[in-house]
């Protein structure tokens, strides 16, 4: 049983570009959340998707958008990249029933030059 998978592992972009990160949830999970972890900090909640809709959103600008597909996989899109967007982006999946069963993927390391 595969856990949460994310692609790509690493990514280098330049300021102003756009990026798409991908996540496949753990089997049986229907809810996907995205987090940003800057160096030396804890993960910060970006948003959560359930039933292909954004259910909750953290304090992130509209440059951050997402999508969930019918197979529950999800994408995180960031437009007009800034140097400050450099971080580890984590995807977590869970069944809708509870937060204590959130499973995290290994993350995508995004570097913006």
Partner 1 sequence: DQQVKQNSPSLSVQEGRISILNCDYTNSMFDYFLWYKKYPAEGPTFLISISSIKDKNEDGRFTVFLNKSAKHLSLHIVPSQPGDSAVYFCAATETDSWGKLQFGAGTQVVVTP
Distance CA 109, CA 38 (A): 10
94 is a site residue for partner 1 (CB under 8 A): yes
Go through 24-45 and write b for each residue having 16 or more CB atoms within 10 A of its CB, e for each that does not: bbbeebebbbbbbeeeeeebee
84 is a site residue for partner 1 (CB under 8 A): no
- The window from 14-22, 69-77, 78-86, 90-98 that contacts partner 1 (CB under 8 A) reads 90-98
- 3-class secondary structure, 64: strand
Residues 42-71 vs partner 1: string with x where CB under 8 A? xxxx--x------xx-x-------------
| Structural contact between residues 55 and 48, judged by C-beta atoms closer than 8 angstroms | yes
List interacting residues with partner 1 (CB under 8 A). 4, 31, 33, 35, 40-45, 48, 55-56, 58, 90, 92, 94, 96-107
């Amino acid at each position: 049983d595969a856990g949460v998978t994310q692609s790509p592992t690493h990514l280098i972009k330049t300021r102003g570009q756009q990026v798409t990160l991908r996540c496949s949830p753990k089997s049986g999970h229907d809810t996907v959340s995205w987090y940003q972890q800057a160096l030396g900090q804890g993960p910060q909640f970006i948003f959560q998707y359930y039933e292909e809709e954004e259910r909750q959103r953290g304090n992130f600008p509209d440059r951050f958008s997402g999508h969930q597909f019918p197979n529950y996989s999800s994408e995180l899109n960031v437009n007009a990249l800034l140097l400050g967007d450099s971080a580890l982006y984590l995807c977590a999946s869970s069944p809708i029933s509870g937060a204590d069963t959130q499973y995290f993927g290994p993350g995508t390391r995004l570097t913006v030059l």
